[in-house]
Chains A and B, each alone.
Chain A
């Protein structure tokens, strides 16, 4: 009845940034990324990628509320890196990895198709 509209889950409202970064004042080299209109799908994969980075001391994410369509990713790094750097690195790595996955998949499909016909 008063459920939010479906599109609210993925359409970022005007005037809101897709990703906002806030440095944590209580902890060194730490900060929180608020990613609008995303959920566990992105949160989990980003966190796991961040965990692979040896410079990342802590990476975690949470959905603050099931009806607030955003996630908060918290990152803490060593002094050799910074949360933003680690975050960007993680994203670009993920991008490459997924691109690779896609290409491998496509070539495999193409291979199979030629075999089949």
Chain B
């Protein structure tokens, strides 16, 4: 048989199908991952919907299903090209793409010639074998399609204009459907509302794909050289990563759209890999500006472009940009290195972080500061916590993956690790990737050898700071990088330049701090102080003029010292610095902001020192033998300085109030170290001075809107509250409360809103790749410009703790509602202050009794079943539960605990506890292993507890809160779910007070939930599993309990997702317990029937229960399931209109039911009910049933 090659063979080869018998080596598959890989930060539904302009509305549906025609029409056509670029196809056709790129006709001919040559060299048997194999693999449709495409290509080659595929044939798979499909053609396709609703439903998976599309859009975004977005071009970006010839690439610049304005990110990255140095520098520079624009756009919540997506793309799962920057840092061209340093700085968002950490330093107690490494939350699961959510945080990258050992001894034993591992790490966490790729030694080299100018060094240093702030492991890497710290100290501290790397590192751990002290960094840094103290004493006038210039450096030095003191180092230096300090400690009325700043810093140093004071009892120091802290003899004069501030302060400028706040904090700490009997004179003086503080000072700040002013005010409030409570403990009272309470009330609403958003948002970050708390200052979609580490939240936190502290002092009924207090509490992130808020506000003795009263009143309903006193002990259970569940770290280290236990002395009481936590060895707090911030439904956690005591107390608390209207901010889905967990676990629900409390709560929620409940998006995507477990427990252990039945009914509402509804029904039907559900009147009627069910599988279940007798007893008892089945089946079978597609199903159901009616008396009655369901359509119904059943009725 003579073989004739098909005309399409060339194209087949081009498409990446290896022709049969082709022995030429395959090109390696592209290793870069397609954009959304699992387990990355860009994953997950915590991203809000971005809609700056109407045409940018993010679609949640699948991009090209025919049913979304209407939606597609509303979307600008240009987006289609991206939508259709299916990554899987790209990856599969990887090898083909390599060749397809340059698929100019000449090459196609070449391929063709090659193919012909190969064919001629094959035997006819081989050829026919190959032919058959090909045909088998392709199938007739594909062949036809390829042939058609071959024809098209043929036409194109002859110069015919072809509107369908403007690009090369290899691209047509991606573009032909998209660009060619005219708008109106799609619009004609009917859209079924039902389907569309389903596609919009925000379940995690769909949300992720919407987010993916947003990030994909960034690929085609073009940026100008200063990093601004020019346009989103619709050019289909080719996959450029494998352009084989660098030289050709550089001079031809054929990738993308060379003539278009601006560059895409990808093009910029390619540009920075050019052989021409100037190209590289420009490319890196461009990347840097894009980073900084994205970070600031994200932080300011700018809406002009989708900055959130830009930022995610930059740090995205393609390690490309990380690799590019890392390579650029090794460049021989200094300009590139300089640009790269700046780009790095922007990528790690150093400046934003610096600002934030600066603000943090200024608020008491110097924090909370958090490590900035990206984290994600442990997914809540059904067995462990019953989908409670708010799991423990974990790092994206394990500390072992940072490869600490190999940063030290370069390539000794890294034989089993490859560059690909580096890239993998970089995909998960950019900063970790950099460290792993050895960026630290390189930075050291640049610092040591290149001697670049100050600006570059500053950029590099702030990069170092960013790395040190990343995570404990990264800080260790920075510390242990050979000679790095030494050279930093040598080069920058000695010539007296500003640097705060040591500062950050010493926050990290005590041992580092000791190390610094040994190195002499402290001495060097504080030599400034020596010098100043000398100059100030000798030439007070001249020095004062220079002071403002150097104040920034001095502040840093003071901070470093403060941290050293925190770790118990350098306390003795106080005597040396005293003259300098006293100069600005006493200059209350100087009016110079620089001095105020210094004074503020100095007082916070004093505050830390004061924490080391021994406790003063009855006029004498209670000295421990090993005491190494400050002594009262020095402290008392300092207090006098502070008092003079309180009296002299006048103007109310920001800096002054800030300093004043610091003074107050200092005094408060001093007061906390005094027992009521100790130092009465001093305390009296403090009290008098405090009363004279002009609260009007603050009034000017109340209108101000800058972040700094807000923080100042919040800090002042907090300080005053602390001092007032300190004084009260010493038996004094203050007159300031009213004014402060005014401020508190004014601010609380703002805080409350922030608080609930905050908690809700961070609850859902369960996929690896939740928001990075540090990079980009914590991403946030719901609060513009407010993520984890944003100034907005910082201010809110300071306010929250201040207000709560202040409210402790209130006598009588509280001026702020419990609901507000709950929201304020959710803002706190420090375990110690949370504990305090819990025990003194939410669950204070008084409050608990009130709550109980409300709850018991509701349960009793006038019958006097229970008495409040019998539940009093619940408070202890709850406190223990909350502390253990939410506030404790995951694995408290054994030796840490022991240490704490040893230090607890008899004399110390609760107020020291707070200080002790503040005094623990680590200043930066890790997200890892904690559950904070609290999710908005944290109050529900006792209901998930296994102990029935805790559960009961939790129920009473919830009931009390509901009665008082304080729980209305918690989503109803969560509350219903929490009740369900009580039923699903064991048989606690049968116990007397528990069951009554559950019943009362159900009554409330029947009222509150007037519609379908979306458990899948509200609680967990796999909710059907849980619902099934609940139904099983109902069947196995409920004894037909009325309350349990009512709870199950929550899942049978109309509009509940079919999977949940179906799972519950199936379970109940199999166990024959449908009849045990209560009548519909008992379960909050009005939510079960509208709209009528249209889901065939569900109706099928109804009908099969009907005909197998599963509903017989339910019919006799008028139970909910019979009413449900009757209603939905009647509406579907008898009232479905003329939809032809459903007719078959309707007839089938009608036939089954009428046949089954001969089974027994009940089923006959049931059929009669069905027939009479629509009394006005009786005849019609009869006719339909007769027709369907073949005359059997």
Residue B285, interface by CB 8 Å: no
B1036 & A62 in contact (Cβ 8 Å cutoff)? yes
Given contacts A58-B1076, A60-B1071, contact A74 B1037 (CB under 8 A): yes
B1040 & A57 in contact (Cβ 8 Å cutoff)? yes
Mark the stretch among A14-22, A23-31, A96-104 that contacts chain B.
Answer: A23-31
Residue B507, interface by CB 8 Å: no
A60 & B990 in contact (Cβ 8 Å cutoff)? no
**Which of B992, B1039, B1072 contacts A76, CB < 8 Å?**
B1039
Interface members, chain B 1030-1052 (any A CB < 8 Å): 1032-1033, 1035-1040
A30 to B1041, CA, bound (A): 12
**Which of B1032, B1039, B1076 contacts A74, CB < 8 Å?**
B1039
Question: What's the minimum C-beta distance from A47 to chain B, rounded to whole angstroms?
Answer: 7
Interface members, chain A 77-104 (any B CB < 8 Å): none
B1072 & A48 in contact (Cβ 8 Å cutoff)? yes
**Which of B991, B1036, B1076 contacts A26, CB < 8 Å?**
B991
Question: What's the minimum C-beta distance from B270 to chain A, rounded to whole angstroms?
Answer: 54
Residue B1073, interface by CB 8 Å: yes
A76 to B990, CA, bound (A): 14
Residues of chain B lying within 8 A (CB to CB) of residue A58: 1038-1040, 1073, 1076
A60 & B991 in contact (Cβ 8 Å cutoff)? no
Question: What's the minimum C-beta distance from B723 to chain A, rounded to whole angstroms?
Answer: 55
**Which of A24, A72, A76 contacts B1040, CB < 8 Å?**
A76
**Which of A30, A48, A72 contacts B1039, CB < 8 Å?**
A30
Residue A9, interface by CB 8 Å: no
Question: What's the minimum C-beta distance from A58 to chain B, rounded to whole angstroms?
Answer: 5
A72 to B1039, CA, bound (A): 13
**Which of B990, B1071, B1073 contacts A27, CB < 8 Å?**
B990
Question: What's the minimum C-beta distance from A30 to chain B, rounded to whole angstroms?
Answer: 6
A62 to B987, CA, bound (A): 13
A contact face: mostly helix, strand, loop, or mixed: strand
> Which of chain B's residues has its CB closest to A62's CB?
B1036
Interface members, chain A 4-18 (any B CB < 8 Å): none
Residues of chain A lying within 8 A (CB to CB) of residue B1033: 62
Residue A61, interface by CB 8 Å: yes
Residue A37, interface by CB 8 Å: no
Residues of chain A lying within 8 A (CB to CB) of residue B992: 26
> Which of chain A's residues has its CB closest to B990's CB?
A26
A72 to B1037, CA, bound (A): 9
A105 to B841, CA, bound (A): 74
A92 to B231, CA, bound (A): 82
Given contacts A26-B990, A27-B990, contact A47 B1071 (CB under 8 A): yes
A27 & B1039 in contact (Cβ 8 Å cutoff)? yes
A62 & B1037 in contact (Cβ 8 Å cutoff)? yes
Question: What's the minimum C-beta distance from A7 to chain B, rounded to whole angstroms?
Answer: 27
A47 to B1033, CA, bound (A): 14
A28-55 interface bits toward B, Cβ cutoff 8 Å, 1 = contact, 0 = none: 0010000000000000000110010000
> Which of chain A's residues has its CB closest to B991's CB?
A26
Counting chain A CB atoms within 10 Å of each CB, the highest count among B987, B1039, B1040, B1071 belongs to B1039
A27 to B1032, CA, bound (A): 19
Question: What's the minimum C-beta distance from A43 to chain B, rounded to whole angstroms?
Answer: 9
A8 to B390, CA, bound (A): 40
B987-1000 interface bits toward A, Cβ cutoff 8 Å, 1 = contact, 0 = none: 10011100000000
A58 to B990, CA, bound (A): 15
**Which of A48, A61, A76 contacts B1036, CB < 8 Å?**
A61
Question: What's the minimum C-beta distance from B713 to chain A, rounded to whole angstroms?
Answer: 57
Residues of chain B lying within 8 A (CB to CB) of residue A72: 1036-1037
Question: What's the minimum C-beta distance from A40 to chain B, rounded to whole angstroms?
Answer: 11
B1048-1065 interface bits toward A, Cβ cutoff 8 Å, 1 = contact, 0 = none: 000000000000000000
A12 to B1038, CA, bound (A): 28
Residues of chain A lying within 8 A (CB to CB) of residue B1036: 60-62, 72, 74
> Which of chain B's residues has its CB closest to A75's CB?
B1039
Q: Which 6 A-B residue pairs are closest in the complex by CB-CB distance?
A: A62-B1036, A60-B1036, A26-B990, A58-B1040, A58-B1039, A76-B1039
Known: A58-B1073, A62-B1032, A62-B1033. 13 other contacts (CB 8 A): A24-B990, A26-B990, A26-B992, A48-B1072, A51-B1072, A57-B1040, A58-B1076, A60-B1037, A60-B1038, A60-B1071, A60-B1073, A76-B1039, A76-B1040
Give me the interface of B with A, judged by CB distance under 8 Å: 987, 990-992, 1032-1033, 1035-1040, 1071-1073, 1076
Q: What would be 29 A-B contacts, judged by CB atoms less than 8 Å apart?
A: A24-B990, A24-B1039, A26-B990, A26-B991, A27-B990, A30-B1039, A48-B1072, A57-B1040, A58-B1038, A58-B1039, A58-B1073, A58-B1076, A60-B1035, A60-B1036, A60-B1037, A60-B1038, A60-B1071, A60-B1073, A61-B1036, A62-B1032, A62-B1033, A62-B1036, A62-B1037, A72-B1036, A72-B1037, A74-B1037, A74-B1039, A76-B1039, A76-B1040
